[in-house]
Structure 1
Amino acid sequence: MNVFSRTRTGKILGVIAVAGASALVLAGCAGGGGGTASSASSGPAEDLTLKIGTVLPQTGSLAFLGPPEEAGVGLAVTEVNEAAKGITIDATFGDSGDADNKAFETTVPKLQAAGVSAMIGAAASGVTKLFLDSNVSAGIITFSPANTSPDFTTWDDNGLYFRTAPSDLLQGEVLANLIAEDGHKNIGIIYQNDAYGTGLFGVVKEVFEGTGGKVVADASYNDGDSSFDAQVATITAAKPDAVVLITFDQFATIAPLLSNAGIAPADYYLVDGNLKNWGTDVAVPLEGAKGTLPGPKLSDDFQERLNENWTAAGNTELADYSYSGESYDAVVLLALASLAAKSTTATDVAAKLQEVSGGTGDGEKCTTFADCADIINGGGVADYDGYSGPVTFDENGDPTEATIGIYQYGADNNYARIN
């Protein structure tokens, strides 16, 4: 067994600011479309079976992210297995819940006992923090499609933690600059008191005040809270010209309180934890409100394949696609790393993840599992660019190439990408 570890650094590489109120891109973005392999597939000497499990939110305050994330995993598993390139994925789906209902306390031990090499999840940074050390001790890869807390960059994980979502050092900067570019000078921030909320709050505050603006009030709450009158009173008393809401589904309760207190929904700024198609689930019109979400625009073909595979399993059609590309890419990268390592042992797979993501700079570009697998099976090095972007892991397991999209709500309380 090879023991893999990496030196920890806190550096984000290749940051490029896009002019105007727009996305911030690290070294570009790419869609996982078609591609052609340059070498014939010979396959490994013996077919591999990689066991993975998911710890994604089927319940709890991030449950709206569960379907698109599980759909991304499910589609990748189907397409990897159908490709027949020398590796089969055996996937078990489980619930992460949230930090309040703690469903992960049942799911994680079951997956560990089942002998998985990797777990996909959790979505919430605060939840991952509660089981990551256990997985590290067990020698299991934890691969999140949605964790954004900056804390994971320097986590003592023995090289066993990866994520396809970028750190909130990126999302916070994009959001703060967007608010400033929209002309706001004095903002209030309501945020969840956990790793995700406090981390994103800190970045937004620092960057916004660096533009010359001021955070005139902030108020936190704990996951599981159901009353937010005190937080809203604190914010509205300071008379901000915009409010940032770093929440999960608590937004549905907080938004009407802010509106009733005289703050127009068009001056709300949302984040990935609450950016969803709210429709009638929020009792006030959100037209004009804006928000940010990691990930490039997904192709129609990818969304169609997601829905076809998802509904074929008896599920209803997806209403949201947040982090579906990141979830798909997590599975593909694990499969490619296993194929490159000719092993399903977690430490061996982890040792190849940076390589197959293009992080070593030695690979041949490819955009589908099948084409990348042909490169590997032909003796080459693959560099996978996926639906979440080029990925390109650094030594910390962080993607160094990612995009933050900007969205705006219409009269139907659904959002659309504006940049």
Structure 2
Amino acid sequence: MKHVVKALTLALAASLLMAATAFAAPVKIGLMCPLTGKWASEGQDMRNIVTLLADELNKAGGINGNKVELVVEDDGGDPRTAALAAQKLTTSGVIAAIGTYGSAVTEASQSIYDEAGVVQIATGSTAVRLTEKGLKRFLRTAPRDDEQGMVAAKLIKAKGYKAVALLHDNSSYAKGLADETKALLDKAGTKIVFYDALTPGERDYTAILTKLKAANPDIIFCTGYYPEVGMLLRQKMEMKWNVPMMGGDAANHADLVKISGKEAAKGYFFLSPPGPQDLDAPAAKSMLTAYKAKYNSVPGSVWSVLAGDAFNVIVEAVKSTGKADSGAIAEYLKTKLKNYPGFTGQISFNEKGDRVGDLYRVYEVNANGEFILQP
């Protein structure tokens, strides 16, 4: 009997020790981002800002006394690579994963995280359908395309454009935004004179620009990403065609002007959440100062800042629940987090995992290639 009691005592002690130390181990948080490929600058900024936040958190004692370990995987800005990156993260013991940039890339990873029971917080993925699937552990700090489409349609109408050309790249994000905008413009009676897709990654878009010119639009709304938009602006100028052109939030990156050149980019305008230079929250200003001190640069766009917001709400959920548990994090974020003071403004989520509130603003590129927030 003594042996039985001793065995039970040891077993109980072991179980209590395991319970006590389950949260004492490093809290692993994953980051999936494009460190290679055409969006590499976005991914590198994402990694920089989340690394900065993790380092500062650990210096301050971590989460409830527990260190945070950041696990980073490169998705290459490609759906196939993203699936592999997600599989690696879900088997590495992360309680949540941040990322990624690009709706199609995020979509390729969603089911992997969901089946593994891991929270995923997307940062630059705005396609509507991502949060219409009923995934309990999926959220995003970025807004949705239907919100952006509504703002785009209102802006086109307010500026008095009567003949609109819509150009996308067949990606989940760009086609989704084009479709949302087209539906609203059709409803308002605005004439759509062109609706088609380009092939991303090409170096010569003069053929599709020639088709666009023949349609005689008052405005081109290209909903694609900044590498292609930059090429279109440059080649449109080379054709000596000065029709106005606008874009969506995927155009919001400093590399746009590097690709197009300042002269070609002048007057181009786009919709986006506020850029890093226009964030007025005290936390944002403090973070950007620390970022510049560490990396001798500033983030190229708002999307890496939204990755920082994702990291902070995960930390807030773990602190508040006292649990390094994916299910508890998702429940807390969707039902209890209200008006968290994020870098990009107050953060709350609805039951679908969408961020609540309108973030979109209008930017115009000036003669110096700077993105100027419009009143």
Give the TM-score category using the shorter length: 0.7 to 0.9
Q: Distance in 2 between matches of 1:311 and 1:125?
A: 32
* Counterpart Cα distance in 1 of 2:147 and 2:285: 25
How far off is 1:96 after superposition? 1.9
How far off its partner does 1:307 sit? 5.2
* Match 1:165 to one of 142, 161, 164: 142
SS in structure 1 of the partner of residue 129 of structure 2: helix
Distance 1:326 1:356 in 2: 20
Q: Matches of 1:192 and 1:45 in 2, distance apart?
A: 46
Would the alpha carbon gap of residues 411 and 273 (structure 1) be closer, same or farther in structure 2, given more than 3 Å must change?
Answer: same
Determine if contact 1:336/1:356 at 8 Å carries over to the other structure.
no
The alignment partner of 1:317 has SS state of: coil
Cα distance in structure 2, aligned partners of 1:176 and 1:386: 28
Aligned to 1:334: 314
CA distance in 1, matches of 2:48, 2:99: 13
- Quote the residue 1:306 is aligned against: 288
1:88-128 per-position Cα deviation (integer Å, ceiling 9, x unaligned) = 3211222222237x442443232222111111111100001
1:26-37 correspondence to structure 2 within 5 Å: none
1:91 — aligned with what? Answer: 70
Counterpart-to-counterpart distance in 1, 2:23 and 2:112 = 31
Check 1:105–1:225 CA distance in 2 against 1; reply closer, same or farther (3 A cut).
farther
Equivalent in the alignment of 2:266: 287
1:133-148 alignment, distance < 5 Å: 133-148=111-126
CA distance in 2, matches of 1:198, 1:124: 12
- Normalised to the residue count of structure 2, the TM-score between the two structures is 0.84
Q: Distance in 2 between matches of 1:83 and 1:142?
A: 25
Superposition CA RMSD, Å: 2.5
Distance 1:260 1:186 in 2: 23
Structure 2 residue 372 is matched with structure 1 residue 416: yes
The AA in structure 2 aligned to 1:97 is G
Give me the whole-angstrom Cα distance separating, in 1, the residues matched to 2:41 and 2:223: 16
Cα deviation, residue 230, structure 1: 3.5
State the Cα deviation string for residues 274-309 of structure 1 (Å, max 9, x = none). Answer: 222334421452211111112473138635633534
Aligned to 1:81, what secondary structure does the other structure show?
Answer: helix
Choose between structure 1 and 2 for higher RCO, CA contacts under 8 A separated by at least 6 residues.
Answer: 1
SS in structure 1 of the partner of residue 345 of structure 2: coil
CA distance in 2, matches of 1:149, 1:311: 34
Q: Does 1:121 align with 2:102?
A: no
Per the TM alignment, residue 319 of structure 1 is displaced from its structure 2 partner at its CA by 5.3
Inter-CA distance 160–319: structure 2 relative to 1 (3 Å threshold)? closer
- Measure, in 1, the Cα distance between the counterparts of 2:257 and 2:202: 23
Match of 1:324 among 298, 304, 308: 304
Structure 1, unmatched stretches of 5+, are: 1-43, 359-382
In the alignment, the residues of structure 1 paired with residue 241 and residue 190 of structure 2 have an alpha-carbon distance, to the nearest angstrom, of 18
> Which one-letter code corresponds to 1:286 in the other structure?
A
Residue segments in structure 2 that go unaligned for 5+ positions in a row: 1-20
Q: When you count helix as a share of all residues, which structure comes out higher?
A: 2
1:107 is matched with which residue? Answer: 85
Sequence identity (%): 22
- Change over 3 Å in CA distance of 1:402–1:69 after alignment to 2: farther
What's the offset of the Cα at 1:48? Answer: 6.6
1:236 and 1:258 in contact (8 A); partners too: no
Could you tell me how far apart the structure 2 residues matched to 1:92 and 1:69 are?
13
Q: Which amino acid aligns with 1:291?
A: F
**Partner of 1:94: helix, strand, or coil?**
strand
From the CA coordinates, give the structure whose radius of gyration is larger. Answer: 2
SS state at 2:67 partner = strand
Partner of 2:326: 346
Aligned residues: 347
Q: Write the distance in 1 (CA, Å) between the matches of 2:103 and 2:374.
A: 27
Alpha-carbon contact 2:131-2:139 (below 8 Å) kept: no
**Residues in 1 aligned to 2:60 and 2:133: alpha-carbon distance in whole angstroms:** 35
Provide the rounded CA distance (Å) in 2 between the counterparts of 1:75 and 1:190.
Answer: 37
Equivalence for 2:154 = 177
Residues 293, 92 of structure 1: CA spacing in aligned structure 2 closer, same or farther, 3 A cutoff?
Answer: same
| TM-score, length-scaled by structure 1 | 0.76
**In the alignment, does 2:224 pair up with 1:244?**
no
The answer to whether residue 37 in structure 2 is matched with residue 57 in structure 1 is no
